[in-house]
Amino acid sequence: MTRTLILMRHAKSDWGNPGLADHDRPLHARGAGDAPAMGAWLRAKGYVPDEVLCSTATRTRQTLAGLGLTAPTQFIPALYHADPDSMFDVLRRATGRCVLMVGHNPGIAAFAAELLAQAPSHTRFHDYPTSATLVARFGIEDWADLRPGTGQAQDFIIPADLT
């Protein structure tokens, strides 16, 4: 039995309003265009989640909405600027066979690297730019059994790869 994780960093956010709290920053126009493209890619590849774990930040919520995917969703405060340990804790409580997690850097890049037995060869994997998406499979029956270094990368993509 396997479990699949789709690990996505939020799309490009807008820094145009310096008085806005970081948590409340919306997507930039580019990010608003990238999210639907990433959603179309996920659907075309058959990577369709049956559970979503998403940070509560405005930009992660807007990224998720732009993907055009429908699955039971939890908006989890602990995923806002989470470190890898917090992300492991959240994912270990997941119940879906294919889980989409939407979060932030720098934690999401570190989490992706810790999850995999071997990093994908993509030149942007280690800096995990906005909208970067890893699809990884794990030979586990239950997310509670998740351990670092056990994931197998199936795909890694950034928006620039789609153009």
Question: According to the 3-state scheme, what is the secondary structure of the chain?
Answer: CCEEEEEEECCCECCCCCCCCHHHCCECHHHHHHHHHHHHHHHHHCCCCCEEEECCCHHHHHHHHHHCCCCCEEECHHHCCCCHHHHHHHHCCCCCCEEEEEECCCHHHHHHHHHECCCCCCCCCCCCCCCCEEEEEECCCCHHHCCCCCEEEEEEECHHHHC
Asked if pLDDT for residue 1 goes beyond 90, the answer is: no
Q: Which CATH architecture has domain 3-15+22-162?
A: 3-Layer(aba) Sandwich (3.40)
Mean pLDDT of 22-49: 97
Instruction: Give dist(CA 128, CA 124) in Å, integer.
Output: 6
pLDDT band at 163 (very low <50, low <70, confident <90, very high): confident
pLDDT band at 121 (very low <50, low <70, confident <90, very high): very high
pLDDT band at 27 (very low <50, low <70, confident <90, very high): very high
pLDDT band at 101 (very low <50, low <70, confident <90, very high): very high
Q: How many CB atoms lie within 10 A of CB 22?
A: 13
